[in-house]
């Protein structure tokens, strides 16, 4: 199971560099705990162009990921591994979503059955990457950004397999495959 970070697990604070600012959306810990209890590995895949742009360093991203798992642990959950692309879109990196390189590496590292897996995200980029690999695609808009997400999907003519109001609902629907 692949999950996006900013806008899906935590609020997207645009180039988040400080672990102390990390918050996790309501229902994320419960959803991850539920997925893991059903045998899913939870792998976070996130574009982090702020590194190439000079806004923060690899160590900052590592600290943020540690903080995410620290918060999730309070709810009995954790992410198995974090993968990120440090490149800006104009670099043309194959690992940057909607490219699939990052997801393919995670799948190889963790022996993920792509046909039985899914991706949960808040952007068309997540859906496009998931579709390219044959994953079940789930869109979970951040609270208060439902219209923005729908407009982005419509403008790119992207149709996720599942639209969920929150992460926990998305996780439940992944488990029932719809």
pLDDT-derived band at 172, boundaries 50, 70, 90: very high
CATH number, domain with residue 43: 3.40.50.1000
Half-sphere exposure of 145 (CA within 13 A, CB side): 17
pLDDT-derived band at 84, boundaries 50, 70, 90: very high
The residues annotated with a catalytic role in the active site are: 4, 6
Q: What is the pLDDT of residues 129-164, one digit of tens each?
A: 999 999 999 999 998 899 999 999 999 999 999 999
CA distance 96 to 89: 7
Q: What is the pLDDT of residues 4-44, one digit of tens each?
A: 999 999 999 989 999 999 999 999 999 999 999 999 999 99
Do 136 and 162 contact (CB within 8 A), yes or no?
yes
Contacts of 51 (CB under 8 A, 6+ apart): 57, 58, 61, 86, 87
Domain residue limits at 146: 2-175
**Model's pTM, two decimal places?**
0.95
Q: How many domains does the chain have?
A: 1
Do 58 and 20 contact (CB within 8 A), yes or no?
no
pLDDT of residue 177: 84
């Amino acid at each position: 199971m692949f999950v996006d970070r900013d806008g899906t697990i935590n609020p997207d604070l645009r180039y988040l560099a400080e672990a102390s600012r990390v918050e996790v959306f309501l229902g994320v810990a419960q959803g991850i705990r539920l997925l893991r209890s059903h045998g899913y590995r939870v792998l976070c895949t996130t574009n982090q162009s702020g590194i190439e742009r000079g806004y923060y360093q690899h160590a900052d991203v590592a600290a943020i990921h540690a903080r995410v798992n620290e918060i999730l642990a309070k709810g009995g959950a954790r992410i198995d591994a974090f993968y990120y692309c440090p490149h800006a879109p104009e670099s043309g990196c194959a690992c940057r979503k909607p490219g699939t390189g990052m997801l393919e590496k995670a799948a190889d590292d963790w022996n993920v059955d792509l046909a039985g897996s899914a991706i949960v995200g808040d952007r068309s980029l997540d859906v496009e990457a998931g579709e390219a690999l044959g994953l079940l695609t789930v869109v979970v808009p951040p609270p208060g950004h439902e219209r923005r997400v729908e407009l982005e999907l419509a403008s790119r003519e992207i149709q996720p397999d599942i639209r969920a109001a929150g992460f926990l609902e998305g996780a439940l629907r992944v488990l029932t495959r719809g």
